[in-house]
Amino acid sequence: MRYKALSSNFYKKNRANYAEAMLSKSIAVFNSNDIYPISADSTYFPFQQHRDIFYLTGIEQEETILLIYPDADKIKEREILFIKKTDEKIAIWEGEKLSLEKARDLSGIETVFWLSDFEKIFDSIVNKCDKLYINTNEHYRAKVETQTREDRFINWAKKKYPAVEHIKGNLILQRLRSIKTDEELNQIQKACEITKKGFKRILNFVAPGIYEYEIEAEFSHEFIKNSSKGFAYQPIIASGKNNNVLHYVKNNGICKSGDLVLIDVGAEYGNYSSDMTRTIPVSGKFSERQKKVYEAVLKVKNEATKLLSPGTLWKEYHYEVGKIMTSELIDLGLLSQFEVKNQNPKDPAYKKYFMHGTSHHLGLDTHDYGLIDDPMKENMVFTVEPGIYLPKEGFGIRLEDDVVIKEKGAVKNLMKDIPIDPNEIEELMSKN
């Protein structure tokens, strides 16, 4: 483990909160992720734990199952953890897995069994219940084509226990995980601080003639050096015309004099994500036009951040940001008053230059849990990431910070120490 683990009390509270939201005479089951194959004997690495079971247990090991049964007569049956048992061969080739004692210490769960005992114990408990909470993926952006370990369990349980009512339990986690505790905010802040170190490193590295992947490598070095497993998501290093490709991930272009390079990266720390975007001049100095567009994007970001407060509705927030962006695009000569007056309300004119959303939830997942029809609440973490994309002018600019919603008018910017002012960027790059 590269990071400082959160306390077992954190995971105990999370399970207690989940249990409190469950209906009577019900049981909930959570499964770890698989180790996913590539081909031959190759697998994707490092192993990525399912964020839900991690949130509830702190266990990062594959082949793990959590069972929550709040109404159990026996206290030891109210929380049960099942983990993979180490044998001599596994210990030699992979290293020992968690012991029962270590799993207890990490999770705070007293009742821990080997995975081989799961079916027998589950069968003895589920027949006492009327309802089974299954953990389907209900994220509004989810597009899952691969059958997961969770999916296989759900299919098995439905066939074996058809009389039990199956309830989707993910909405409980959507609400719980969207509001961060102080411990979680500290992890995200640490991820942001590691990202800052990476960004400051490349400001003294970027120059005409280097490849985008060389910038990626500099970030990777700094992230891993500072106790991160690496990038929280696939990094975007987009120079020149590549600025205008929203999810550009090839990172194989060459940085040319006079161009901008858009850098959308974030370090993870303890499985928590950061998400930063900066756009900097390859030669160390913005052109007059580039700086004007940059300052417009920065203004939209700053004004959008002020709109984030408890009670704010997602749709209203994005509508207001659209009005701010429209004003800036008019000032830049990109939109006319006529175009705005005659725009289709369902497809506003500003979308020609700013076609993505302004914010998303951030946490254990980069696009984290959060029900977008619910009002925003204190201690939710959001990105703020407006952009203006100008393919005909050969560049695009996006800027992004991670912020915590506090009481009205007191948003906390977790990336306030990462350079973003264009003059400061130029000054720091001039020291290259």
Backbone φ and ψ for 138, nearest 5 degrees, come out as -110, 15
Query: Around Cβ 290, how many Cβ atoms within 10 Å?
Result: 20
- What mean pLDDT is predicted for residues 272-300? 98
Which distant-in-sequence residues (6+ apart) come within 8 Å of 381 by Cβ?
180, 185, 188, 361, 362, 363, 368, 402, 403, 404, 405, 414
Count: domains in the chain:
2
**105 belongs to a structural domain:** yes
**306 belongs to a structural domain:** yes
**Cα distance between residue 196 and residue 275, in whole Å:** 11
pLDDT digits (tens, 9 = 90+) for 101-151: 999 999 999 999 999 999 999 999 999 999 999 999 999 888 888 999 999
Q: Is the dihedral of CA 274, 177, 403, 332 positive or negative?
A: positive
Residues 226 and 323 in one domain: yes
Residues 166 and 303 in one domain: no
Burial of 81 (0-12, 13-18, 19+ CB in 10 A): buried
**377 belongs to a structural domain:** yes
Q: Is the dihedral of CA 180, 54, 140, 356 positive or negative?
A: positive
Residues 173 and 118 in one domain: yes
Q: Which of 240, 262, 272 is nearest to 3 (CA)?
A: 272
We report the CATH number of the domain holding residue 421 as 3.90.230.10
Average pLDDT, the chain: 96
Q: Which of 85, 74, 76 is nearest to 110 (CA)?
A: 76
**318 belongs to a structural domain:** yes
Tell which of 159, 178, 197 closes a domain.
178
pLDDT digits (tens, 9 = 90+) for 310-350: 999 999 999 999 999 999 999 999 999 999 999 999 999 99
Tell which of 148, 178, 208 closes a domain.
178
Residues 132 and 57 in one domain: yes
**187 belongs to a structural domain:** yes
- Decide the pairing of beta strands 26-31 and 131-134: parallel
- Decide the pairing of beta strands 272-273 and 387-390: unpaired
CA distances from 414 to 253, 321, 329 (A): 31, 21, 28
pLDDT digits (tens, 9 = 90+) for 189-210: 999 999 999 999 999 999 999 9
Residues 306 and 392 in one domain: yes
Work out the percent of the chain whose per-residue pLDDT is above 70. Answer: 100
Residues 189 and 163 in one domain: no
Whether the bond between 46 and the residue before it is cis, its omega within 30 degrees of 0, is yes
Q: What is the pLDDT of residue 140?
A: 87
Query: Around Cβ 322, how many Cβ atoms within 10 Å?
Result: 17
**271 belongs to a structural domain:** yes
Residues 46 and 134 in one domain: yes
Question: Phi/psi zone of residue 26: left (φ > 0), alpha (ψ -120 to 50 degrees), beta?
Answer: beta
**116 belongs to a structural domain:** yes
- What mean pLDDT is predicted for residues 175-202? 98
Which domain does 44 fall in, by range?
A: 8-178
pTM over 0.95: yes
Q: What is the pLDDT of residue 96?
A: 86
pLDDT digits (tens, 9 = 90+) for 347-366: 999 999 999 999 999 999 99
We report the CATH number of the domain holding residue 56 as 3.40.350.10
Q: What is the pLDDT of residue 91?
A: 86
Residues 172 and 206 in one domain: no
Residues 105 and 205 in one domain: no
Look at residue 227 and tell me whether its pLDDT is greater than 80.
Answer: yes
**Cα distance between residue 364 and residue 51, in whole Å:** 6
SS3 of residue 128 by DSSP: coil
**2 belongs to a structural domain:** no
Q: Residue 359 is encoded by which pair of tokens?
A: 């914010």
Residues 127 and 242 in one domain: no
Residues 202 and 245 in one domain: yes
Q: What is the pLDDT of residue 432?
A: 64
Q: Residue 340 is encoded by which pair of tokens?
A: 């705005």
Look at residue 41 and tell me whether its pLDDT is greater than 80.
Answer: yes
Residue type at position 271: N
CA distances from 5 to 39, 105, 249 (A): 33, 11, 31
Give per-residue burial for 89-127: e unless 16+ CB within 10 Å, then b.
eeeeeeeebbeeeebbebbbbebbbeeeebeeebeeebe
Tell which of 133, 155, 178 closes a domain.
178
Residues 355 and 226 in one domain: yes
